[in-house]
Amino acid sequence: MNTQFDVNTYWFQRGRHYDQETRLAGDYHRLQESFLLDLMQQGRVPMQRVLELGCGFGRVTKVLAEAFVGARITALDLSPEQLEHARRYCAGCSNIQFEPYDFYSGSPPF
């Protein structure tokens, strides 16, 4: 029996239901999003291009797209199911490009 942890298998399996499980923690997520935006805005770094690694179903992606409307956002995720959720969740945000990417392969994302 192989007991080695396979991170890709974990995220592929979790990606099928992650959007449903995260809906339960709404208050926590709003606090997390507010904290993230505060940090980014206080850093005064121009947000022209943003790369999000592991976008999941797009919760943070949408927050970024709405806060930085002039930014071009590239959101990557391993799970095709998560990318499909993210595309639906972020519909109407024209500044986002979603792409599949395996972070552990060592291959360039595009």
What was the pLDDT predicted at 6?
Answer: 76
The band of 98, judged by pLDDT with boundaries at 50, 70 and 90, is: very high
Structure tokens, 91: 């519909």
Percent of the chain with pLDDT over 70: 80
Quote the CA–CA distance of 10 and 7 in Å, as a whole number. 5
Asked if pLDDT for residue 22 goes beyond 70, the answer is: no
In contact, 74 and 52? CB cutoff 8 Å: yes
Quote the CA–CA distance of 29 and 34 in Å, as a whole number. 8
Rg (CA), the chain: 15
The band of 24, judged by pLDDT with boundaries at 50, 70 and 90, is: low
pTM of the model: 0.72
What was the pLDDT predicted at 29?
Answer: 76
SS3 72: strand
Q: Which strands, in side-by-side order, build the sheet including 49-53?
A: 49-53, 72-77, 96-100
What was the pLDDT predicted at 25?
Answer: 65
The band of 64, judged by pLDDT with boundaries at 50, 70 and 90, is: very high
